[in-house]
Amino acid sequence: MQEIAPSSSPSTLTAAHDRRRRYYQRIKPLHLKPLWEELHALVPNEPRTPCVPALWCYADIRPKLMESAELISAEEAVRRVLILENPALPGSSSITQSLYAGLQLIMPGEIAPSHRHVQSALRFIVDGRGAYTTVSGERTTMAPGDFIITPSWTWHDHGHAADEGASGPVVWLDGLDIPMVRFFDAGFAENDTARAQHVTRPEGHSYARFGYNMAPVRHDHASGTSPIFSYPYARSREALARLQRDEPADPWLGWKLRYLNPLTGGAPMPTMATFLQLLPAGFNSRIHHATDGTVYCVVEGRGTADIGGQPFRFQPQDIFVVPSWAPLRLLADEDTVLFSYSDRPVQQAIGIHREAFLSA
């Protein structure tokens, strides 16, 4: 292309631009386009996500979720879930560009039939207790705050035995890497022949083998996913309570721990990192931001998440999303516990994860 000197007259400029436009039109049928018109958008100076911050108030959602149980059974739905879709990503079924979130409901006596898929899933129990999920032949009973994983390509079914005293509905947050798998066009899934899996190992078996900072000497666990299916809230909460007693809070994060794959020290699943953090009453964090857009679920406490200057009041069971690189400040009115997940392990694996802790 002929260069246009900055000193060129307006008419020369217009003529040059017209020539360029005509050229773009001529190459379009060949499915070609000029990079120089797109470069700034394709290679931005810093992340420019279309995703917006948002909060889902559980008190508002719960009645709608309960209503869904009158419309369809868990069995017919396969998974009776209300998807939390980012308001700025309509039609995507995504809460960030890479992550999916939904609230799944199971009623006493129901079964969500066994299937498997390459998408990895996490469950974070929000409401009720006594439902279970079975993963690869091992059952885990759910209680609020428990973090449970379903590794890629493992059979899983969910159920709720009506007779065990705990007879109410059970709701959990589903976090999946659905948008990532869709991005790679690498999705496979299949239904099991049985509605529910045959249980082959006693409850707590994986935890006994891998959950005590010890691992079996002879084992064949080759996958990149944690061999522990369930990380009970009682244990994670106790760890935070001990830290609160013994060391000062981090000015940005409070006391924040990440869940581990005990065999690698990495995240429990290859695609999603998960965290639990405690903010003391009166905490007013400094601002930080990170390239991993993050989904938060409030477990205990009340406060405000200031996301890019927009305040979101939160209370227990609420869910909010912090887009990539959005400055985040957390304010806690009471002792507050937040669970969160993001695509951090993927960004770290390809060497692009960044975060910054601002002095403000």
Comparison of 116 and 288: residue with beta carbon closer to ligand GTQ: 116
- Phi (first) and psi of residue 25, to 5 degrees: -65, -35
Comparison of 54 and 81: residue with beta carbon closer to ligand GTQ: 81
Task: Let me know: does 227 contact 221? Beta carbons within 8 Å.
Answer: yes
Q: Following CA atoms 135, 141, 102, 298 in sequence, which dihedral angle do they give, to the nearest 10 degrees?
A: -130
Min CB(116)–ligand GTQ separation in Å: 8
Site for ligand GTQ in 19-38 (CB under 6 A): none
Contact with ligand GTQ (CB under 6 A) among 16, 20, 57, 79:
79
- β-bridge partners, 56: 319
Contact with ligand GTQ (CB under 6 A) among 51, 61, 65, 81:
81
Min CB(210)–ligand GTQ separation in Å: 23
- Phi (first) and psi of residue 211, to 5 degrees: -95, 5
What DSSP character marks residue 71?
H
Site for ligand GTQ in 166-205 (CB under 6 A): 174, 176
Q: Following CA atoms 248, 249, 252, 257 in sequence, which dihedral angle do they give, to the nearest 10 degrees?
A: 120
Site for ligand GTQ in 135-154 (CB under 6 A): none
**Residue closest to ligand GTQ when measured from CB atoms:** 174
At 319 the three-state DSSP class reads strand
- Phi (first) and psi of residue 102, to 5 degrees: -155, 160
The interface mask with ligand GTQ, positions 84-113, x = CB under 6 A, is ------------------x-x---------
The interface mask with ligand GTQ, positions 111-130, x = CB under 6 A, is ------x---x---------
The interface mask with ligand GTQ, positions 224-253, x = CB under 6 A, is ------------------------------
Comparison of 82 and 249: residue with beta carbon closer to ligand GTQ: 82
Comparison of 133 and 291: residue with beta carbon closer to ligand GTQ: 133
Comparison of 120 and 277: residue with beta carbon closer to ligand GTQ: 120
Enumerate residues 6+ apart whose C-beta is below 8 A from 40: none
Comparison of 176 and 330: residue with beta carbon closer to ligand GTQ: 176
Min CB(46)–ligand GTQ separation in Å: 32
Q: Please work out the total of residues on this chain that contact ligand GTQ, with binding judged by CB under 6 A.
A: 9
Task: Let me know: does 197 contact 214? Beta carbons within 8 Å.
Answer: no
- 271 contributes a contact to ligand GTQ by CB under 6 A: no
Distance CA 269, CA 177 (A): 10
Strand 255-258 and strand 273-279: the pairing is antiparallel
Comparison of 117 and 288: residue with beta carbon closer to ligand GTQ: 117
Q: How many CA atoms lie within 13 A of 286 on its CB side?
A: 10
Residue 107's nearest CA partner among 170, 36, 65, 157 is 170
Min CB(121)–ligand GTQ separation in Å: 6
Q: Could you tell me the two tokens for 354?
A: 């960044």
Q: Could you tell me the two tokens for 262?
A: 């005990």
Task: Let me know: does 342 contact 293? Beta carbons within 8 Å.
Answer: yes
Instruction: Point out which residues bind ligand GTQ (CB under 6 A).
Output: 79, 81, 102, 104, 117, 121, 156, 174, 176
